Amino acid sequence: MCGIIGCVSDKDCYGALYDGLKRLEYRGYDSAGIAVLGEKLSVFKKKGGVSNLSAFYARGGTGIGHTRWATHGAPSDANAHPHRAGKIALVHNGIVENYAALKAELEGEGERFSSETDSEVIAKLISRAYRKDLLSAVREGLSRAEGAYAVAVVAEDRPGELVAAKNKSPLVAGKGASGLFVCSDIPALAGTADFIARAEDGDFIRIADGRIDFFDKNLNPVCRDFTRPREELRALSVAGGGYFMRAEIGEIPRALEDTLSALKNADFAPCARALRSAERIFAVACGTAFHSALVFADVAEREAGVPVLCCTAGEFRYRPPVIGEGDVLVAVSQSGETADTLEAVRLAKSRGAYVVAVTNIGSSSIESLADFCIVMRAGAEIAVAATKSYNCQLLCLYYLAAQLLFFKRARLPEWFSALDRLPEAAQAAFSCFAEADALADRLKGAGAMYFLGRGTDLCTAKEGALKVKEIARVFAEGYPAGELKHGSLALVGEGFPVACISTCAALLKKSESALAEVKSRGGYCALFSQYPRALAESCADFKCLLPALPEALMPAVAVIPLQYFAYKMCIGRGFDPDKPRNLAKSVTVE
């Protein structure tokens, strides 16, 4: 999940590379490096964040940069990219699955390695193949690599030239006033590149002589369309040392408004036949996106009476699933580049299923693979922990569930018109922040906690628990309230915190019973509900009144105080909410 960038310019490129890496840092931040080709090839790389590179500078118009999320080898100066081999310098995102065998072979032939990474193996292979023709050398070197990669390569005797290649890792090319670029994703170039083109698997890119040329796996020229990047993909600025996560939580109402507007203008007719005839629907995603898929499964089954089988994308591939013609796969990925989700889509399509994708990045790999793509309008999300993108995923999936019912039963759900009130309700949820702040302050020393829920509230509980794990580094479990007494209650003792989300009127008493079980064993109980009577009658120690919407839509609102609670708990524990330990935003490796 590293971020790579390359630039060829008639000006010094160091500033453009550095700025690009800062925008890519959500993809990895355990080490970073830049190589600049001027009168000589200069390489700077350091353990830690991109800001560590600000002490260095080199003049030259050609360069590559990298911000790392470690897979092979611990974070260190030596394992940081770029990697040098002979006249070659390389940056790499992905995993070379056969690197151990290749490394052993190269060591047997006298090569010596300075890092523990799989990426250095590629640099060695390209260096061995290099004979003044960089494009051919990159192709030859990569021909032996198995796995996923996006690479950018320069050679010290080829100033003004850069070669890149892609296989199952994201890569785009861009043209702007400050130069020609390759990069891991579109948002990192928004505002820098006026035109963007997405590379496809097997593509090679050569930048030289003021041109960007694409080639296929046999180095035959191919055409890739350049388009203007969407303005809304530009990242928020955070002035005064603030955090992106807090700014992005604040963006939720605006993001919902923009997404709702896009959905109202969307034409769902192309997927009508597939939805109308579908007897089974599969939903796949990873992490936070998976929790939105769980909400979709619950709502779609209730409304349309169609079985929806929900599975994490990484498990879906290896079950193997019983999916085929006539089935619909709904795939959710904020970045559109999540490796496991893309592989699940490829598998479903190979079996003849119809694929509907939900993503925040229109010109992404998942859009190119899907039969129908719903592009939300959350805007760029820089913090690793998803917030506004989750709310927008839910909105898109509610809309899809409504279309499913419409195409099958010629009617819309009773809650459909209430979607217009989601942005306003999200804004109203900010009134819960003072209470969530107090709760975070009280629980910041906790070693573990439970989040309880039933029905779609369980999905919200799972997402709340994930946020606390991700950024506050507290073990948390999202658990069915009715299952608490079947094992998990054994961990509850004096002061053990349990948060319950209870937004379904028919299950209020059932959820309250679970809290009573916790309370009787000395646990600390927090309750979130939109029903004042549920709060008034509860034994909970902490009570938070949520804005009211139709119950089916409550997950999109109930999660907001939990997102903020996790953020404040993280701050209280002295951690950076934008850069949680061991995690990266866009998971492009399996």
Which residues are known catalytic residues? 2, 585
Segment (H or E) for 281: strand 281-285
Query: 532: phi > 0 → left, psi -120 to 50 → alpha, else beta; which?
Result: alpha
Phi, psi (deg, nearest 5) at residue 262: -65, -40
Cα-flanking dihedrals φ and ψ of residue 176, to 5°? -150, 175
All residues at 6 or more sequence positions from 214 whose CB lies less than 8 Å from its CB, including other chains = 173, 197, 199, 203, 204, 205, 221, 222, 223, 224
d(CA 90, CA 388): 35
3-state helix, strand, coil in the chain (%, to 5): 40, 25, 35
Q: Please name the amino acid found at residue 14.
A: Y
Q: What is d(CA 580, CA 573) in angstroms, rounded to the nearest whole number?
A: 12
How many Cβ atoms from other residues are within 10 Å of residue 257's Cβ? 18
* Residue among 495, 527, 294, 278 nearest 404 (CA): 278
Q: How many CA atoms lie within 13 A of 366 on its CB side?
A: 31
Side chain identity at residue 436, one-letter code: A
Q: Give the separation between CA 421 and CA 493, rounded to whole angstroms.
A: 41
How far is residue 573's CA from residue 60's CA, in Å, rounded to a whole number?
43
Which of 530, 491, 494 lies closest to 511 in space, CA to CA? 530
Report which DSSP code applies to 43.
E
Q: How far apart are CA 45 and CA 2, in angstroms?
A: 14
Residue 157 region, left (φ>0) first, then alpha (ψ -120 to 50), else beta? alpha
Q: Which of 2, 71, 28, 586 is nearest to 340 (CA)?
A: 586
